A and B are shown apart, each in its own frame.
Chain A
Amino acid sequence: MSIATTQPVLPPTARSSRKRRARLSYLLLHVVMILLGITFLVPLAWVASTSLKLPGQVFVTPIEWIPAAPQWSNYQEVFGRLPFHLFIRNSFYVSFLGTLGSVLSSITVAFGLSRIRWPGRDLVFTVLLTTMMLPGVVTMIPVFIMFKNIGWIGTFYPLWVPAWFGFAFYIFLMRQYMLTLPLELDEAAKIDGASNFRILWQVIAPLCGPAIATVTIFSFLQHYNAFMEPLIYISDNEMFTLPLGLLWFQGRFGNFWHLVMAASMITIIPVIVLFFVAQRYFVQGAQFAGLTGR
């Protein structure tokens, strides 16, 4: 590219016209990608912009994308109308415990599936792959009744305890990562007399940083974004997580678009912050997911 631009203009040979065509298509590609990018961002831009408007500005056309006088007080008003500080606390509480469980259980189970050889291991792994593909809808009702029978309705337990048994996808992801670590690590530790337990926590787990980060992020998102479970299990308003709180807000103040959008922003912002802080692991997680197909 740089050579072509510094050289004097050549007679229009086949080669240079081909180059020009390549550059044109490269430009065209960018135009298409930018247009698509705008399309993908419009909803988010619209939430952000509406959340900062006065009620009267919301329905003005053409849309004023950057409000002249941003109304930050809309956010204050949302907190004043419903206890969003409680929803935030509840969401983080459940997400934290669920994520902790997901990480610990996936490390432990993945170790048993990747670094210890034992009869029955392949069977457990097959079951794991199967549960990844089973539609959860079939267990929704019986699991609800089960939790009701042990008195867990109206508590946070149903929202985070299942994570401690390990979700198939996270275990799979962790196992794939552990398989890339050399087996000599375990053997050296074994010669020194270390038990499997010590090998896991002192040798293998410290090397699984990227996989742990990926599981952490996906599990956090899963618990933070969860809707069906809180909907079924939580009825006390003060125990609402953010999704339930937002739905409640939409139900009561749905006509105040600017406030509903501010409430939506409150729900979305933590996810966006997390995304920008740890984008690498978001991408990595999706890439690992693709490996399932191999």
Chain B
Amino acid sequence: MATITTSPPLLAKTAKRPFLSAAARRDLRDGLLFTSPFILGVLLLWVGPMLYSLYLVAHDWNMITPPEFVGMKNFTRVLADPLVRKSLVNTAYYTFGGVPLQLLVAFGLAVMLNQNVRGLGIYRTVYYLPSITPAVAFAVVWIQILNPEFGVLNNVLSWVGLGPINWLFNPAWSKPAFILMSLWLTGFQMIIFLAGLQGVPKELQEAAEIDGANVWRRFLSVTIPIISPIIFFNLIIGIIGSFQVFTSAFIMTKGGPQDSTLFMVLYIYRNAFELFKMGYAAALAWILFIIIMFFTAIQFFFANRWVYYEGKR
């Protein structure tokens, strides 16, 4: 009752002063219009497919006979599938073993490039170049580099009396081989770090020097906090990317030997496009999605403990 009596004056009030002026209305219209490709894209390529995927998860479908409703069965199958555990472990190994090393290499290179060296452009080019080679070419080339008998890597290792290592043919060495390979692709992260390092204000460094801080102290107490948002960014992007490793394993090992390089996305691909178990593959994709989002959320949660944002203090 009360609402009825109070609503007419409210309506009258809004009618008197329109919600938006003509210019503001035009801006709203144009804003929506200009961003509409992206909004449409999000609906068509993200929201719609994710909802559809939820439908798939509850069905068995080989893309020939009609989908059959199975409820939560695809998830109980996941629990009983030893290859899921295996591929999750492999993926975690590659991610948590690889990403810290990649960041360390990228950061080390950036710090060296930041020392005002002569020939900076040349060094930067050399370190960056491998990371832009097409993934397939990179994988095809590395099949031969890692060849136990004739590959360059074992050739070089033999100079210092190491090896030969059966890289891609030994389950114990296949994942380290993949991690090693990934270090050649750190150029992009290196440039991001370098940009960050170059943005560290000189005055801060000098002030710390006057206060008697040595090189290490300045590095730890000035440089690292200032570029911590960039470390954070590289960490997030690196982990999301590594969890979805696919191409090199698909081309170089097909998941072998003994499933030691069967990574999650490769297993999803197999279920979807080789075995045509669409529902099961969608369930696996959701599990990986949730795992990645979980680790991303954890990082954001702990970010305010170590990531320093200028002006937000």
Contact = CB atoms under 8 A, between A and B. Distances in A.
Contact of B135 (A145, A197, A225, A254): A225
Interface of B: 24, 26-28, 30-35, 37-42, 44-46, 48-50, 52-53, 56, 63, 109, 112, 115, 117, 123-130, 132-138, 140-145, 149-150, 152, 155-156, 184, 188, 191-193, 195-196, 229-230, 232-234, 236, 240, 243-244, 246-247, 251, 264-265, 268, 272-273, 278, 281-282, 285-286, 288-289, 292-293, 296, 309
A63 B195 CA distance: 38
A156 interface: no
A29 B130 CA distance: 22
Interface string A33-62: 100110011111011001000000011011
B192 A289 contact: yes
Given A108-B34, A146-B49, A228-B246, A117 B240 contact: no
Given A142-B48, A164-B37, 11 more contacts: A33-B123, A118-B32, A119-B28, A135-B292, A137-B244, A196-B27, A200-B34, A227-B247, A260-B144, A283-B124, A290-B233
Which label, helix, strand, loop or mixed, suits the secondary structure of the A interface? helix
A166 interface: yes
A44 B117 contact: no
10 contacts: A40-B184, A43-B184, A105-B37, A111-B34, A116-B27, A221-B132, A254-B143, A271-B132, A290-B192, A290-B196
A224 interface: yes
Contacts of B149: 59
Interface of A: 26, 29-30, 32-33, 36-37, 40-44, 46-47, 50, 58-59, 61-63, 105, 108-109, 111-113, 116-121, 124, 127-128, 131, 133-146, 148, 162, 164-166, 168, 171, 196-197, 200, 221, 224-225, 227-228, 232, 242-244, 246-247, 250, 254, 257, 260-261, 264, 267-268, 271-272, 275-276, 279, 282-283, 286-287, 289-290, 292-294
CB-CB nearest 5 A-B residue pairs? A165-B41, A112-B34, A293-B233, A118-B31, A286-B191
Contacts of A116: 27, 30-31, 34
A183 B135 CA distance: 42
B45 A143 contact: yes
Contact of B240 (A133, A242, A276): A133
Nearest to B19: A119
A62 to B, nearest CB: 8
Contacts of A221: 132
Nearest to A294: B229
B127 A246 contact: no
A155 B285 CA distance: 25
B19 to A, nearest CB: 10
Contacts of A128: 38
Contacts of B184: 40, 43
A182 to B, nearest CB: 19
A200 B123 CA distance: 39
